[in-house]
Structures are given as C-alpha cells and as structure tokens.
Amino acid sequence: MFATAARADHNIHLVGGTVELLIDTSAGYPIIAHWGAPVSRGNSLDLPALLSGPVPHAHLDRPADAGALRDPGRGFHGRPAVRGHRGSRAWSTLFELRSIESTDTDCQFQLVDAAAMLSLSLRYEVLPEGVIKVDVQLTNDGDDAYTLDELSSWLPLPDRAAEIIDFSGRWLRERQLARRPILPGIALREGQEGRSGHDYTIVQCASTAGATFARGEIWAMALMWSGNTRHMVEQLPTGRKSIGAGELLAPGEVVLGPGERYTAPTVVALHSRAGLDGISDVAHGWLRSRPQHPTRVRPRPLTLNVWEAVYFDHDLERLSALAEVAASVGVERFVLDDGWFGARRDDHAGLGDWVVSPDVWPDGLRPLADRIRSLGMEFGLWFEGEMVSPDSELYRTHPDWILRVDSRIPPTARNQLVLDLSNTDAYAHVLEQVDAVIRDAGVSYIKWDHNRTLVDPGHGGAPAVRRQTQAIYALFDELRRRNPGLEIESCASGGGRVDLGMVMHADRFWTSDSNDPLERQEIQRWTSLVIPPELLGMHIGPTISHTTGRRHSIQFRAITALFGHAGIEWNLLEATDDERAAIRDWAVFYRAERDLLHSGRVVRGDHGDPAALVHGVVARDRSRAIFAYVQKSPAQGSVPDTFVLPGLDPDAVYRVSSRDFGGAPAVQHRPPRWMAGAELTGAALGEIGLRPPIVFPEEAILVVCDRIPG
C-alpha cells in the first residue's frame, strides 16, 4: 500500500491504497471534486471543468460550489458545516483560503472569515490503507464570545449513490441493519445519550442501488467519538447529495472566548468498489496497522467472565473451584465481575466506593488472584468508575460530584447517578482508587462498564458531555500509563459504547449483553463491519440463555463465539463432562486458529435465503479459511440453497471438511458428501458453492478450507 500527495496549479490530489481525494482551490477556497477510486492516473486534471454545470432557472446568476465548508454566504441552502453566532451576528459564514501546507500524505488549509472573525484549520490525511481522516479546528479571532452550535465534516456523494445503509438497535439487539433510499431532504441520525449508545450506527454508508457484501460501491463516514454524535446524508433540490458527521453539541456547550479554539472529533471516510466487505478490508487494515493494536502485542487470550456464573454471589471457595475447571478447559484469563467492592451486594449500592469489601473478601482479592495465577491464568476485574450509587460513602460525602443541572438531581437508572469526571476531585478519586486496586491485586485486565444513559449531564450549569468524554479517554490512558500491559474492555450494558473513538483507548469491546447465539449472529455480523473481530468479545453462554430463555446446542454456541475475541460466560461447574470436553476441544481449536481469525480477511456470503447466514475469515495469502454456515430458521426450500465461500484463490485447489464441537448437529437423512472431506477449486467454491445439510433451525456448520500445495 502507498500514500502520495501532489499539487499542480490549484489542484491537490492525495492517494492512499485504493482511494483518491481531489481538491480544487482555484476559486479561493477548497472544493472536494472527488473521493473514491483513483481517477487522475498521476495527471493534473482540469477540476473546474469537471465541477462546472448548467445554470437552472431561478438560481443565482453565477452559481458556485459552496465548498467543503458549505458556506451560506456562497448561496448554499443546505446544512452548513459551521453553525454558530455572536448573538445576532456572525451567523452566516464565508471562509476564504489563506494558506495551504501539503506533504506526501496530507494537506492542511488555513481559512479565515474576516467578517465573522473566525479562522479555521481544515486537514485531510489519506492513510496507506485507504482511509481519509478529516480534522477541523475553529478559532475565535474576535473580541467577544462566539457560540458554536455545530462543526461537522462533509464530503460530496456522486449522483449514483442511491441508498443509505446504517444500523439501529437497543439493549440486547445492537447494530441491526437499516437500509433505505436516499430521498430529498436530510436523513439525520443523532445520539444524545452521553455515550455512543446501543442505537449507534458506528458508521453510516451511502451505496449504489442494491449493493451487497461483494458488489456495489460504498462511501462511508464514521466519527471517532464516544459522546453525542450526528450522522447525516443530504440531498438538495438540485439533486446533489452529500454525507456528513460531527459531534452533537448541546446548546451553549461550546462558547469560545477570544482566542479560544474548538477541535472537532476526527472524522474518517472509507470507500469501496467491492461492496460492504471492501469497507471492512479498509477499516480493519487501518486499525490493525496501529502500533498499539492488541494482536501486535500478543495473541488474544481465551477469557472467562463470571457474571452469568455467580452474579453478586461471591465466595472464594466457589470461585476457586470455578477457576480450576476454567483452567482445565483452556481458559487463559479469569475476570471477576460486579460485587467485590464496598456495599455492593446487589445493584442498589456501592458504586463509587472502589475498595475491596471486607464482608465478602476479608483477606482482599489477593487469595483469589493468586489462585488464578497459580493455575496459569491472568486475573481481570470489573469496574464502573463513571457511576455512583446514592447509597454509597462517596455520594454521602460528595453529593455535589454528579453531573446535573443546577441543584436538580437527575432521575436514577440502574439505581445509580453519573459522576462528573470533569470535576478534578472526582476524577482523581476514581483514578486513585481504581489504580490502587489494580496494583494491590495484580490486575492485568479491567472490564469497564457504563450502565446508564446520561440525563442532565451538566457541570457548573453548562452542558458537559464533551468534557466527560474527554475525561474518560484521559482516565483510560493514565491507567494504562501507570500499569504497563493493562488491557481495558469497554462495556456499556453490553454494546452501548462501541465506536471509533473508544477503539483508540480500549483493547476490547463487550459486543452485547446477549449471549444468545441466534441474536449474536446479526449483532456480530454488523459490529465487525468496521471493528476488527479480535476487538469484539464473543462468549459461549449457558445452555439456556439468560436474556432470551432459548436453549441452544454447544455446537451453535461455540461456533458463534469463535469468530472474535473468544470467551465463556457460563458456570462451568454446572457443565457436564461431555460439555467440558467440547469446550476443551473448542479452546484448542481457537488457540490454534486465532492468528488466522484475528488477521485474516473477513468475508460474508451473499446468501439467497434469509433463513441462513454465511461468514468467514480467509488468510491473507488465501492458504486457509474458516467459514460458518448458520441456519437461523427453517430453510425456504425442502433442500436448502447452496452457499458460496467467498475470498478463496480461484486457481487453487482446497481440501474442504466440516468441524464440530461436542457432536455434529442433527442432520436429516444423510449429510452431503463434502462434509466427510472433498477437494475442490476456489473457483468452484466461490461460484457454485456447497449444499448445506438439512439441520434444525438455530444451528451452525463450521467449514475449514486448506489449500493443497502444488
């Protein structure tokens, strides 16, 4: 992969991977002429000729492209990038270019609106993996305050963009596909929970009509932010379309004094001409290239979390017995969840008092932690440091340390309030208490929860979501600085804070509180569109799901949990010998294959029957691949549709076989011959496909493909 930049006359083009960004500055301000597949071929294009068009009746006499900032002063009637005011002044912007600085990988524009007394820095960077990063800073050059209402980043969409693909959801059903046509007006997705939320889309896509996983063109935009957010797709009366994203600011949240500056969260843009899987290729390649990416440090350890095993019922003898069984089946990390601190015997008390409870742990956590380490496992611990229980020593001592509006106490949720981490004393309290526990018990991993939305999130009378978000980033970074090697899992009632901002400060996401493998199919499928699977916690839950009451085979649960950072959320003391043997077999397979699972190309089959799903991971050299065929509900036909295995080398021959854990799923009559082993070309597997067995609904088949040398 490569990244280059060039400038000729008023043209700027940045190229990285399979994307090119063309910017025209001939009008005295930056106009995005193109972003997508490379088109210049190293030549200087006549961008004004490409951008010019006819003048319709009842428009401006000399219509002009409003540019990257969509200035109203240029006659733009859509949503501008900058919205704000000085009382009744400076509410309409008209930015002019003052300077350009270009390197081989980025271009930075300095712009000024002299009348509004504002200056703006706009930077585009194209990374070698094909990601476009957009960074914007706005400075108040005036002598009085400027109230900023919005600063968003926008990119134009070509006329062939026809559909919006994004995701909605709720607790236990995060990232559910939402697909609709682009229509006149603005399609607006806002998150106002104070965290990204269970309804958060992570990325918003525009696509050509009918785009699939393998086909069609996609333009996507995502926000690197964990607070309140806004994603938009707009179509003007002229027919022109654009996509934008930015932080959602509460009224008065950002008021810039003279000389003060607002830095917007970074926006990333992704492009693919190979369908939705192409977006995954770009996003995963970018995130995996980071020096701090967890798999660049070591393999992802198989994790047991004890929440659904013991809940608040903590007991050293019982947990030690559970740890022994966990070690015997191949668990590498043991995580103690809620209930170890303060007066936390249920969810009505104790949050904020991050000291080990002498009632439950009279000798502290060291005896359990040492026992876990003696069994060859790491010790992890649960915190929810942004919250406080009204029934806690902290709240009784410092009731003023919560986010609130004036003296009004917000309603509780999960019997808790939210600590104001922009209060330096509250921040220091959480940091020091958590750090002390980590050091004392030798904790190498923390699961950090965030179990409620924010209501009236104010500090000193002003909105404070932005400052709260910056504080949790700082706190995570400081904990890691003080405790080298510490890993942090971001959990928010499951998948309520999974975003491209938190991915820069945490090592893992708890994908959902639902361990039901049927629900997990769609949740994991779409969460991994931009988040690499090795960052997504995927666990084998109990036989009967704690959240849906469904009963599922060990085979279905194990295959579902395999394709991410695998783990277990189950009281293994209650598992049968056969179930433990199946988990042991699965754990051996996971450890042997995690390098492939956590580095390979994620692919998803475009299957004709909505009753089934196909997904897999293909090694970068295409020498090996692992796929899952999932029968969600009864097949439409008496003989199920074939399923193709995408991403293989069409010219290679593969040995294909099935793999099971704890006994193959019940197959009606007889299984297809390939399940016992077959040799087939990658072309045949990708074009003709395999006929699945007839299995009961809510089951899965694991398919392993090995390229035959020669």
For 338-367, write each residue's pLDDT tens digit: 999 999 999 999 999 999 999 999 999 999
Q: Tell me the mean pLDDT in the region 211-240.
A: 98
pLDDT for the residue 1: 41
Distance CA 488, CA 435 (A): 13
Distance CA 47, CA 156 (A): 15
Q: 378-383 and 445-448 as β-strands: parallel, antiparallel, unpaired?
A: parallel
Q: Dig out the tokens for 164 from the structure.
A: 């919006």
Sheet holding 19-24, edge to edge: 3-8, 11-16, 19-24, 31-36
**CB-CB contact of 596 with 617 (8 Å):** yes
Distance CA 646, CA 604 (A): 7
Q: How confident is the model at residue 165 (pLDDT cuts 50, 70, 90)?
A: very high
Q: Tell me the mean pLDDT in the region 634-649.
A: 96
Please report, rounded to a whole number, the percentage of residues in the chain having pLDDT higher than 70. Answer: 99
Q: Is the whole model's pTM more than 0.95, yes or no?
A: yes
- Sort 639 into a burial class: Cβ within 10 Å, 0-12 / 13-18 / 19+: exposed
For 390-441, what is each residue's pLDDT tens digit? 999 999 999 999 999 999 999 999 999 999 999 999 999 999 999 999 999 9
Stated as kind and residue range, the H or E segment containing 223 is strand 218-223
- Sort 202 into a burial class: Cβ within 10 Å, 0-12 / 13-18 / 19+: buried
Distance CA 245, CA 249 (A): 12
Q: Which of 507, 513, 516, 609 is catalytic?
A: 513
Known catalytic membership, residue 106: no
For 199-209, what is each residue's pLDDT tens digit? 999 999 999 99
Please report, rounded to a whole number, the percentage of residues in the chain having pLDDT higher than 90. Answer: 93
**CB-CB contact of 447 with 380 (8 Å):** yes
For 15-51, what is each residue's pLDDT tens digit? 999 999 999 999 999 999 999 999 998 788 999 998 8
Query: CB pairs under 8 A, 24+ apart, for 476-482?
Result: 476/448, 476/505, 476/506, 477/505, 478/431, 479/431, 479/434, 479/435, 479/438, 479/446, 482/435
Q: Identify the weakest region by mean pLDDT among 7-16, 319-328, 363-372.
A: 7-16
Q: Tell me the mean pLDDT in the region 95-109.
A: 93
For 683-707, what is each residue's pLDDT tens digit? 999 999 999 999 999 999 999 999 9
pLDDT at 505 over 80: yes
DSSP 202: S
pLDDT at 294 over 90: yes
Distance CA 692, CA 701 (A): 8
pLDDT at 669 over 80: no
pLDDT at 234 over 50: yes
| Backbone torsions φ then ψ of 363, nearest 5 degrees | -105, 15
Q: What single letter denotes the amino acid at residue 27?
A: A
pLDDT at 6 over 80: no
Q: Identify the weakest region by mean pLDDT among 94-108, 140-154, 518-532.
A: 94-108
DSSP track, 257-300: -TT-EEEPPPEEEEEESSHHHHHHHHHHHHHHTSTT-GGGTSPP
Domains of the chain: 83-287 (2.70.98.60), 294-595 (3.20.20.70), 602-707 (2.60.40.1180)
DSSP track, 18-64: TEEEEEE-TTSS-EEEEEES--STTS---HHHHH-----TTS-SS--
Distance CA 524, CA 540 (A): 13
Distance CA 245, CA 233 (A): 9
pLDDT at 9 over 70: no
User: From start to end of 606-697, where are the E strands?
Assistant: 612-618, 624-631, 653-659, 678-681
Q: Which of 65, 166, 449, 507 is catalytic?
A: 449
Q: How confident is the model at residue 210 (pLDDT cuts 50, 70, 90)?
A: very high
Distance CA 576, CA 571 (A): 11
What are the b/e assignments for 548-584, b being 16+ CB within 10 Å?
eeeebbbbbbbbbbbbbbbbbbbbbeebeeebbebbe
Distance CA 554, CA 557 (A): 5
pLDDT for the residue 668: 76
Average pLDDT over the chain reads 96
**CB-CB contact of 430 with 419 (8 Å):** yes
Compute CA distances 570 → 310, 420, 424, 601, whole Å: 9, 35, 39, 30
DSSP track, 169-184: EETTEEEEEEEEE--S
Q: Tell me the mean pLDDT in the region 129-139.
A: 98
Known catalytic membership, residue 449: yes
pLDDT at 592 over 90: yes
pLDDT for the residue 667: 77
pLDDT at 2 over 70: no
